[in-house]
Structure 1
Amino acid sequence: MLLAGAGLSQFIPGDFGGGIGLAGFLAVAFPYIQKFILHAFDFNLTEYCTQFFADNTFLGKLFEGNFAVGTGVGVVSIGAAFGFIQRMWTHFWQWYIRYFSMTVKIPISDESYQDVLNWVRERQVKNAKHSTLETGTKQCPISGKYESVHELIPEVSNFKFWFRGRQFEIDQRVADSTDCMLVSTTGHGSNAIFKDMLVEVKKYKEVKNEGKTVIYNGNSGYWHCGNGGGKRKRPLESVILEDGVAEFFLEDIQDFKDSAKWYTEFGIPYRRGYLLHGPPGTGKTSFISALAGHFDLNVCILNLGQKNLTDESLNQMFIDAPENSMILLEDVDAAFGNRADDKSKDGVEKLLAGASADDGPEARNTLSFSGLLNAIDGVASAEGRILFMTTNYVEKLDSALIRPGRVDAKQYIGNATESQVERMFRRFNAACSDKDAERFVRAIFDRPERPDVSLAQLQGLFLRFKRKPADIFSGLSTLYE
């Protein structure tokens, strides 16, 4: 497109350039434009335009005797042509994106959000130029030793990658006031390509966490597992409980997992709840971790006293718990005790004070007792869920919380018995004789006014003498320090 003469005056105001008109403005500005181009690009615009007008008879006659104006109009004409092309390309690209692009939005609350992010970071981003340092500890799969590691996590806030011969773009943003991730691609076809990608993400996650138990922590209404993946499964035999306790839970959980059809047939909500109670250090949480490893389940740990926890967010977290997971509420008595001892003003609910009044309403924990009960077994509560609760003081729990249907089995996990002490001694001293095992048991239980001994205390004793197990008898007094 070439704008010249009177045609150009239709598009530019007469007072353009402060009232001096187009010709005056170009006459003043052109020398500076020419010097800038010559200095920046080593390109002589005057010589180029001279030759341009010499080769074009029409333009040469039209602007004869006014070289600056002619040259300026030529530059403006070229710029207008490029501007027109740019606008046309923008419209074309918007039309192409509208009709030939596909996008999937993954909210941050969705379980796949972190999985997709980890997959892109580890499998698609190579030698990223922009990274974030993450320092943490990881367990060596062979030695079991925990070591400090430094990882450079690639930034993928706006990144392009290839999958099955097609280019994708991942964009982390806040859309409609919601944290989310947009994954988009262009081209023909259905959105089945996204389903194929999510299948690959799931396979990657399974391979990465093979032999591990993934620990999720509930925070701000979402489940987070971080970038470190899971921790090595804890062997069930490493937790020594009273005879028959482990066997009962193994049988009961397996029966629950195999009875989904039966629950549906009889119209019974498909969920199972357990309560482990007893003194501190007796192995309640360790046993739950070992059970999760045995059944290839993840563990979702939820602190009921955290800030910003509401009835709605708690119920949603129960529903959104990752698949193949058990939910763990530790020390549930610390959140809700017996309502007969501490009732709210209306005599129905007890509210948690998760923050001080000075923190403002947005920092308060407004979880109610009825909200907890509804999340566990309300009409909208999740199905296919295994729930574990632990407490050191079962007498503080309200009977409504631990009634049948919410807690299907209660188990006391107490201090060490003679059988547990003997089995633990044999585990840490595989070459010991029956005589030594009996001697160790009697040295603990025949002691006058013997205080109770927990499994955690015994484990600490064995760790102290792990290099010289024969000297453990000389250190028995440390159990009671």
Structure 2
Amino acid sequence: MSARSIFLDLLSFVANDAFVAVRIGIVLVGILIAVCQKLMWNISVWDYTQVFLDNPYFGATFSIVGVGACLAALQQIWSLGQHFYSSYMTCSLEIPSSDESFQWVLQWIYARRLQNPLHLSVETINQQWNSGGKKNNSRFEFVPSAGTHHFVHKGKWIQVSRTKSQSDNGFTLRPLETLTLRTNGRDTSVYREILEEASAYVHAKNEGKTTIYSAMNACWTSMATPLHKRPVESVVLDDGVAERVLRDLEHFVEHADWYVNRGIPYRRGYLLYGPPGTGKTSFIMALAGYFSLNICILNLSERWLTDDIFATLLSTAPQNSLFLLEDADAAFVSREGVTSHDVKIARPGENNKNVAFDGMSRLTFSGFLNAIDGAASSEGRILFLTTNYVDRLDPALLRPGRIDLSQHVGYATEYQLKKIFMRFYPEEPEATAELFASLVMDTAANVTLAQIQGLFLEHKYDAREVFKDLSVLSKSLV
């Protein structure tokens, strides 16, 4: 670092501080007066000063002012020293709360580095019941509170400063914060090591679990405690449906080079459509667990969601995540008063209130398409859309490159009914499952697995009682 750059930096510091500038100006004026006295009146500066010091009133006043000036000068020297030290003898890392690593580093610091910290922040996590049916106590997650903390990492002293923004944070539920790490020297590789260790710690802590994120303005925030992975086999779909989607997604995840070598954008879009309660969202949750992915859920009807924010959310998603946009048909058009027969795509010059993507949302259809398939769309993205009314979606959304695989998830078939019966009552013979499936198909043709599961939950331990209540399936719950 050259002396010229240091001098210019100090000069900038002085120029930006009016108090320092005034002090230096007074000193310069005093020197100028002394020089004039010496040149014009041929009297030494010492003799000139002695005349005033012999005056008791001036001497007392000068002493008081002199002491104050000396203290002020020492204060400014200390400030200049601190500025010089922090600028040229330390290095720092700033992590905003909008970045995923913010919580990683806080958790890692508390768990691995701080010894008996005195100032903490707490997040209470309530789990009502455990797998054994017993009520759990609340669990507390501690992290360093706002303020300054210190710890040692591989022999290096690290200062941690956590500050909260005083400005309004818009639509987010948590205030904007900044985490600043500072250490001696100019080697910034220590911060890369800290981030890698913090990332490894959090991923090991959440191993075997799925984290759910929701969008708060332009930031992703974890909604709750990571959920245990759901087995794919626990979601009973029609024969071949789950295998088709699973096989396609597995090829996408494991063959990134195939896309790169052929110049094809490395992203994949899926659409699951069908009646409510057929297992669309449950299947996506199970897929996320199977591939060890987190889930980013975004409500497209949010009033704060604009084209720019939507594109930002897609490009800044947490690591190893898939996107879930539920009820895509309802994002821009109200379902009230709309049937599957009166929805159509407006032609030029027509004014159709039921056109898809024409509602209260500030997110435009063109902005939505550009974000998922435009030049600036992110690579490696996995997007799942669900809808109950596929005919309400604009055909432009359904073309390959935006939605690469569409899969209908319909009402329960005989195959599904037999399989889910055996899953709930494995001690029953297969013939009983076949009889159940046959009776359900005769009783209610359009029945969902949600209805079947609700019936099983009422009779958890007695399959014979299920047969007595089959009549409830004829009542539409949709």
Which band: TM-score by shorter chain?
Answer: 0.7 to 0.9
Give per-residue Cα distances to partners, 1:248-271, cap 9 Å, x unaligned.
112111111122112112111111
AA paired with 1:330?
A: E
Determine whether 1:270 maps to 2:266: yes
CA distance in 1, matches of 2:467, 2:236: 21
Quote the offset at 1:150 in angstroms. 5.3
**SS of match in other structure, 1:293:** helix
User: Match for residue 212 of structure 1?
Assistant: 209
Corresponding position: 1:459 with 2:448: no
Question: How far does the alpha carbon of each residue in 1:105-155 deviate from its partner, in whole angstroms, 9 at most, with x for none?
Answer: 223332223322333455455665555554443377764877462536445
Q: Match of 1:245?
A: 241
Deviations along 1:162-205, one digit per CA (max 9) or x if unpaired, are 14132221323449999452422231241001000000111111
Q: Report the Cα distance in structure 1 between the residues aligned to 2:229 and 2:177, rounded to whole angstroms.
A: 32
Q: Describe the SS at the equivalent of 2:105.
A: helix
Residue 161 (1) aligns with residue 144 (2): no
Whole-angstrom CA distance in 1 between matches of 2:350 and 2:135: 50
Report what 2:184 is aligned to: 187
| Structure 2 alignment gaps of length 5 or more | 1-25, 28-52, 54-58, 170-175, 334-342
Question: Is the aligned partner of 1:113 residue 2:102?
Answer: yes
Q: Distance in 2 between matches of 1:343 and 1:145?
A: 62
TM-score of the two chains, using structure 1 as the length reference: 0.74
Q: Identify the residue that residue 318 of structure 1 maps to in structure 2.
A: 314
Question: What residue ranges of structure 1 are gaps of 5+ in the alignment?
Answer: 1-9, 12-61, 63-68, 355-364
Instruction: Report whether the alignment pairs 1:446 with 2:460.
Output: no
Could you tell me how far 1:311 is from its partner in structure 2? Answer: 0.6
Counterpart residue number, 1:45: none
The equivalent position to 1:396 in structure 2, one of 387, 392, 395, is 392
The answer to whether the 8 Å contact 2:418/2:437 transfers is yes
Sequence identity (%): 41
| Greater Cα radius of gyration, structure 1 or 2 | 1
Q: Mark the CA change 1:267 to 1:94 in structure 2 (over 3 Å): closer, same or farther.
A: same
**What is the alpha-carbon distance in structure 2 between the residues aligned to residue 243 and residue 297 of structure 1?**
25
Residue aligning to 1:199: 196
What per-residue deviation string (whole Å, max 9, x for no partner) do you get for residues 194-217 of structure 1?
000000111111111101011111
3-state secondary structure, aligned to 2:81? helix
Say if 1:225 and 1:126 are closer, same or farther in 2 by CA, change over 3 A. Answer: farther
Taking structure 2 as the reference length, the TM-score comes to: 0.75
In structure 1, distance between residues paired with 2:327 and 2:356 = 17
SS in 2 for 1:171: strand
**What residue in structure 2 maps to residue 468 of structure 1?**
462
Which residue of 365, 368, 371 maps to 2:367?
A: 371
Q: Distance in 2 between matches of 1:152 and 1:215?
A: 17
Check the 8 A contact 1:218/1:302 in 2, yes or no.
Answer: yes
Query: Contact conserved, 1:160 with 1:169, CA < 8 A, in 2?
Result: yes
- C-alpha change, 1:131 and 1:329, in structure 2 (3 Å) is same
8 Å CA contact retained: 2:232, 2:290: yes
1:340 matched to 2:345: yes
Q: Is the 8 A contact 2:322 2:382 kept in 1?
A: yes
Give me the CA root mean square deviation. Answer: 3.5
Q: Is the 8 A contact 1:121 1:156 kept in 2?
A: no
The total of aligned residue pairs comes to 404
Q: How does 1:162-177 map to 2 (within 5 A)?
A: 162-164=151-153, 165=155, 166-174=157-165
Partner of 2:80: 91
After superposition, what is the alpha-carbon deviation per residue over 1:287-322, rounded to whole angstroms, capped at 9, x for unaligned? 000001001111111110112111111111111112
C-alpha spacing 1:383/1:117, structure 2 compared with 1 (3 Å) = same
Cα distance 1:154–1:204, how it changes in 2: closer, same or farther (>3 A)?
Answer: closer
Give, in whole Å, the separation in 1 of the partners of 2:345 and 2:406.
22
